[in-house]
Chain A
Amino acid sequence: MRLLTLLALVLLGLSAQAAEKLKVVTSIPDLADLSRRIGGDRVEVQSICKGLENPHFVSVKPSHLVAMSRADVFVQVGLSLEVAFVPGLLENCGNARIQPGRPGFINASDGFAAIDIPGQVDRKLGDVHPQGNPHMNLSVEGGAVMAANILKGLCAIDPAHKADYEARHAAWTRELEAAQQRWKKLGEGWKGRKVCVYHQEHAYLIRGYGLVTLGSVEPQPGIPPTPASLASLIATLRKEKDVCLLAVAWARRSELEEVRNQAGVTLVELPNMCAGLPGTESWIEMMDLLHKRLAEAFGPQKGT
């Protein structure tokens, strides 16, 4: 009997501990990885987007709605990256704890200096994002900003475990610093290397390493190419040598191949978010793969 009582108490204790975990929902897997790293065993994390998806086209599923309705914390990139699904989810989930302005809402791009902020917001510019290029999760500096915002958010909502969060964030930051050394070394010879893009996801890397963008398969962000725009892009690329065409899993294969075959460029498949391509479970691993693929594509010779 005493044993049973003890067992019951232990089970109760375990379930209470499990129930105490913060339920974190993130828009993309990069934020899920960072939330797990900083939250540790204090959090239970779920991402809405999967690693190969185009975040601009994700549609809402019932599991997303249920997860959002139960969440203690919601983490998004912001900068209008998730406009296709986050506003609808926030509006319909009926969860006051995670609404913008509440402690349970974390905007991971807060304080990040976005590039390509349009001087004029007009659909003439395509599917333009009024707050600038939203793909900050693919910038070398983005990781630290996302992690800092998650740390701040978790500490605010669960101050009792502030020290734990800070310790884990510090450990992750040391890993990040080591990784940034690797990336810096790899990227040293890249200045002036020529690329063509499909979409504008890698604009931060391109600017950071001083790569030269010769064109884009999408004539403007979110606007599919026309036969004329493709022909003019191919004509431009034909005049150049050693051009890498950067693309992610969702880019249209037929157009990528047309450009590659007709313009003689090297197609480089890059990750879009973490947990998509093999070996990209964490944000740092994903950025490692990104740099590795670029280094392979650019080859050992230094750029001009």
Chain B
Amino acid sequence: MNHSILSASALLLGTSALFGQGSAFQTPGMPRQVYGPPKEGTSQDNSGQASRFSSVFNPAFSFVGDIVGDYRSGGEEVGWNAELRALEFGAQAWVDPTAWAYFTAVSDGESLDIEEAALHYKGLGERHTLRVGKFFLDFGKQMQTHIHELRTLERPLVLREYLGDEVSGTGVQWDHWFSANDTTAVRFSLGAFSSLLPEHEHGEEEEPEAEAEVAGRKSIGNLNYSARVTGFTDVGTNGTLQLGTSARIVPDFAFVDEDGGGEVGGLDNTVWGLDVTYGWKDETATKSFTAGLEFLVNSGDVGAELGAAPGDAPIVADGTRTGWLLFADHGLDPNNSIGLQISMAELADADKTEALEIEAYYTRYLSEFHRLRFGLSTLDVDGADESFRAAVQYTFFVGAHGHGVNW
């Protein structure tokens, strides 16, 4: 504790000293006078100092482009389309020996959103990580990934219905793992956030709807919480099995009719999930098989419809909804894989309408750094027409690139 206070004040002192250095003859924000040409073969000037114009401490940059062309029929949207779905720009670097920081900014060609901007602090001791900033919800196996990194074109039905398409919160999360035996690792995470509801995408809405919102200022008990525990073990020499359980808790939120002005507050919602994943690779590590199941329970105030007249409070649906997703993937070799994903969910309306989504996909990595995916999907909502989509996705990855541990 003392240590962190100390380092925080040291950081502040360091910063003021840094600004203090040239401040007497320098307007803050204006470039400092550079004496002489850069030293040959370096990006530094000849001042003998790694100053703010030195690029030696620059972070590693990367960007990702995700382009989708598709045909839809049967639903509300019909016809062909092509879009730059996401251009993601990111950077990462070590801040000091105990922490590294990164950000990911995403644009769909119109607005630029910061999806993640966080610091991983490793100074708490072995196998502990404190994450501070804005980052994705740690729930199940698929919520931590950006959409372009998923095995399918879209986030599976049950996840987007109960949690949101992309859910990132601003807050703090503690992560720790330990070994249960020689072949089993157990990881848990606990997080507290300002809000873990998905951000609304303005401008894209076709019809007005009641939007869920968490108040800006709240008591500590009304912060939003996330928790996950997962065990990951070897199965034989070539397989792995992972079991996990996760929760997202939103203790106090409101449904707001932004156009009409009606509002219902004092609502709460908890989503709980269970996941099982089995993975296998052949003896050459080139052929693979992965299958997984996630089961979700959405309880409390789950959804809302607009009131009858403008200004009326939205009509809230509550109770319990359940849904699941199931997938199987087969990697034919490092570059080609095929898979099938099925997701079922009771929708968050008063009637608990059932919906079923099926997606078959083929992914071809042209190399490790760009990939083509072909997907066919159907969405069948009870009482509505079945909709169909055929899509081609092209995704490229440029720059700094790494493989983490997927758990």
CA distance A237 to B181 in the complex (A): 53
The contact of A250 among B122, B182, B286, by CB within 8 Å, is: B286
Quick check: A66 and B367 within 8 Å, CB to CB? no
* Chain B residues in 8 Å Cβ range of A59: 279, 281, 285, 403, 406
Most buried by A among B122, B333, B335, B405: B405
The contact of A54 among B233, B286, B402, B404, by CB within 8 Å, is: B286
The reply on B47 being an interface residue by CB < 8 A is: no
Total residue contacts A-B, CB cutoff 8 A: 97
The reply on B185 being an interface residue by CB < 8 A is: yes
Quick check: B367 and A62 within 8 Å, CB to CB? no
CA distance A142 to B333 in the complex (A): 30
User: How many residues belonging to A are interface residues under a CB distance threshold of 8 Å?
Assistant: 39
State which residues 86-115 of A face B: CB under 8 Å: 87-89, 91-96
Q: What is the distance, in angstroms, from B175's C-beta to the closest C-beta of chain A?
A: 10
* Chain B residues in 8 Å Cβ range of A223: 367
Quick check: B185 and A62 within 8 Å, CB to CB? yes
User: How many residues belonging to B are interface residues under a CB distance threshold of 8 Å?
Assistant: 34
Quick check: B368 and A222 within 8 Å, CB to CB? yes
Write out, one digit per residue, whether chain A residues 208-244 have a CB within 8 A of any chain B CB (1) or not (0): 0000000000000011100000000000000000000
Quick check: A84 and B403 within 8 Å, CB to CB? yes
Most buried by A among B185, B232, B234: B185
Quick check: B369 and A224 within 8 Å, CB to CB? no
Nearest B residue to A67 by beta-carbon distance? B182
Q: What is the distance, in angstroms, from B337's C-beta to the closest C-beta of chain A?
A: 13
State which residues 166-195 of B face A: CB under 8 Å: 177, 179, 181-185
* Chain A residues in 8 Å Cβ range of B285: 49-50, 53-55, 57-59, 250
* Chain B residues in 8 Å Cβ range of A161: none
CA distance A57 to B182 in the complex (A): 23
Quick check: A61 and B126 within 8 Å, CB to CB? no
Nearest B residue to A220 by beta-carbon distance? B367
Quick check: A88 and B403 within 8 Å, CB to CB? yes
Write out, one digit per residue, whether chain B residues 284-307 have a CB within 8 A of any chain A CB (1) or not (0): 111000000000000000000000
Q: What is the distance, in angstroms, from A84's C-beta to the closest C-beta of chain B?
A: 6
The reply on A207 being an interface residue by CB < 8 A is: no
* Chain B residues in 8 Å Cβ range of A69: 126-127, 179
> Could you pull out 9 A-B pairs where Cβ atoms are within 8 angstroms?
A62-B233, A66-B184, A69-B126, A83-B402, A83-B403, A85-B403, A91-B404, A94-B126, A127-B367
